[in-house]
Chains A and B, each alone.
Chain A
Amino acid sequence: MKIMLNDAPYEFAGETLEDLIIELDKSQQGIAIALNQQVVPRSLWCSTGLDEQSLVFIFESIAGG
């Protein structure tokens, strides 16, 4: 399915937010996900399904003052 990921179309083979993070091969540490403008708690990533209308933003912690 095609979702919107960080403002760009993304072809996604999995089902849940957890699948997406695994597919992207990103560390699960220090990141947060918003689905349709709502922050999704880490504990719900494995049970939160995505569909064609999903707007996903993934954020990461970086250096800052």
Chain B
Amino acid sequence: MSSLLIAGHEFRSRLFTGTGKYASANAMMDSITASESELVTLSLRRMDLKHQTDNILQPLQKKGMKLLPNTSGARTAKEAIFAAELAREALETNWVKLEIHPDPRYLMPDGMETLLAAEALIKKGFVVMPYVHADPVLCKRLEEIGCQCVMPLGSPIGSNMGLASRPFLEIIIEQSRVPVIVDAGIGAPSDAALAMEIGADAVLVNTAMAVANQPSKMANAFRLAVEAGRMAYESGLGERRIQAQATSPLTDFIGALS
């Protein structure tokens, strides 16, 4: 399986993972280990001054994971830029997963604010990875202003509905000159495999692993699915057709009986 290059950083694994929704830090680490993922997303929030929070950062850093802070919670470009600057200080990285969703019910990314924020953040030296609708025009615009990849959604965050946006993902993949990472909605390993088979460069999975009865087993299943899907893509999948085409040669030996 070929490796993936984003902003000069090489990834051997094409499975990116989120750190949210796990029952414990240990369950999260076991799952990430089983997934063989090399990049994890993190969030930022106002510090809880009364309680000590579970330190998940140390084990992730110790493992050498590439950390990708997100701007989750930002409703506008201005808030997202502020969140990205905070994240750069907190995690000492100029990489940011830019996500702006003004509506908490469906968590739909705001494309216009995302484009504005991406432009400003790129000027400030960030490696911007924007989470967006599977909108081929927007993805092209984001590429043109200097985003290092695009992260179109398969379906709403945490919905486990798979690649509801498939036809548009295929257009994005066909047009894109930067890596396409399918994010959000990937509910089963088969969704991840399909994303890879249609030519996505990577997938980002969180909920489906974190809420499984056995997260690390599910993480392993996702690892296998991503590898299988990528290998199938690299091998060249056969064309779909309506008519049958014989796999065995159609000889006339049966006819010889009459």
In the complex, which residues of chain A have a beta carbon less than 8 angstroms from the beta carbon of B171? none
B44 touches A39 (CB 8 A): no
Q: Is the interface of B mostly helix, strand, loop or mixed?
A: mixed
Contact with A along B51-88 (1 / 0, CB 8 A): 00101111000000000011010000000001001111
In the complex, which residues of chain A have a beta carbon less than 8 angstroms from the beta carbon of B44? 32, 59-62
In the complex, which residues of chain A have a beta carbon less than 8 angstroms from the beta carbon of B22? 63
Question: How many inter-chain residue pairs (CB < 8 Å) link A and B?
Answer: 95
Q: Is A2 an interface residue (CB 8 A)?
A: no
A60 touches B70 (CB 8 A): no
Q: How far is the CA of A40 from the CA of B89 in the complex (A)?
A: 8
In the complex, which residues of chain B have a beta carbon less than 8 angstroms from the beta carbon of A32? 44, 86-90
In the complex, which residues of chain A have a beta carbon less than 8 angstroms from the beta carbon of B21? 63, 65
Contact with B along A26-65 (1 / 0, CB 8 A): 1101111110010111100000000000000111111111
Spell out A's residues near B (CB within 8 Å).
Answer: 5-7, 24, 26-27, 29-34, 37, 39-42, 57-65
Spell out B's residues near A (CB within 8 Å).
Answer: 18-22, 28, 41-49, 53, 55-58, 69-70, 72, 82, 85-91, 157-158, 204, 206-207
